[in-house]
Amino acid sequence: MFDIAVNLADEKLRADAGGVLTRVCDAGVGHCLLVGTDIQESQWLAERASAWQQPFTAGIHPHYVKDRQPDWLTALRELAALPGCVAVGETGLDFFRMLSPKAQQIESCQAHLDLAMELNMPVYLHDREASDELISILSPRAGLSGVVHCFTGSQAALEAYLGLGLSIGITAWCLDERRGQDLAKLVPMIPGDRLMVETDAPYLTPRDLRPRPKRNEPQFLPHIIEGIARLRGESPEHLARQTTDNARRLFAC
């Protein structure tokens, strides 16, 4: 199994990083993509990823682009060139919380995409209530590979991202009876060779997990796979194999 979204540098997991990775091995999850959401987090992951034998990403989440340093793109290029870095990002747009100005989000996203194309690397994308704008930024960049992680958008957005050749990451959001039912209907529409699975730990703890833990961890990925497999009418074993193959192919690891 391959969890494509583990925020191990997050303050909720960082102090217990070793324990998180031990528990994930015990759960049978072989790969965790460790997500960098700013330069400092990405550097922290880069210093440890080799010892942990897990891949990582390097980027600046749209929430944090307002805090970028003037040399951020140089630092990002250096991080992306490291052997353990397998994708540029997390980048994208978030017009739901709008923690950074829209213009800055767009400029940062464009720079990330251009760097990914320059380095021939996949891009790791965030989209929350910004699909139209993000699709318009992606569309002129033919040949760009990547994944829209934690997808929660519409059918039109899903079809557009698939049309651009991108993969789709699905979390336990689709198992949430309060807000995930629209996504649950879309999950069977994702082609098997474009689907990836993720916890987005420590966020988005599955609401149907009992006993309910205080935080999400990648050890819960098998539970999420079981739920997604039910929605797709597939066996968990098949879904685990296929999504692992998809992630290993995209991230070349």
pLDDT computed for residue 224 by the predictor: 98
* CA nearest to 60, candidates 34, 36, 84: 36
* CA nearest to 148, candidates 182, 220, 159, 140: 159
Helix (H) or strand (E) holding 231: helix 221-232
**Which CATH number applies to 2-251: 3.20.20.140, 3.40.50.300, 2.60.120.10, 3.20.20.70?**
3.20.20.140
* CA nearest to 222, candidates 210, 234, 240: 240
Helix (H, G, I), strand (E, B) or coil at 144: coil
Q: What is the pLDDT of residues 27-72, one digit of tens each?
A: 999 999 999 999 999 999 999 989 999 999 999 999 999 999 999 9
Asked if 115 and 88 touch (Cβ cutoff 8 Å), the reply is yes
Say how far apart CA 241 and CA 244 lie, in whole Å. 5
Give domain limits for the chain: 2-251
Residue 143's Cα: distance from chain center in Å? Answer: 19
Neighbours of 116 (CB within 10 A): 24
Sorted by sequence, the CB contacts under 8 Å of residue 100 that are 6+ apart come out as 62, 63, 64, 65, 66, 108
Tokens of 2: 């391959």
88: β partners = 58, 123
Q: What is the pLDDT of residues 176-235, one digit of tens each?
A: 999 999 999 999 999 999 999 999 999 999 999 999 999 999 999 999 999 999 999 999
Name residue, tokens 């993000």. Answer: 134
Ramachandran sector of residue 92 (left: φ over 0; alpha: ψ -120 to 50; beta: rest): left
One-letter amino acid of 89: G
Mean pLDDT for 7-27 is 96
DSSP structure string for 188-231? GGS-GGGEEE---BTS---TT-SSPPSS--GGGHHHHHHHHHHH
Q: What is the pLDDT of residues 78-117, one digit of tens each?
A: 999 999 999 999 999 999 999 999 999 999 999 999 999 9
Asked if 142 and 166 touch (Cβ cutoff 8 Å), the reply is no
Average pLDDT, the chain: 97
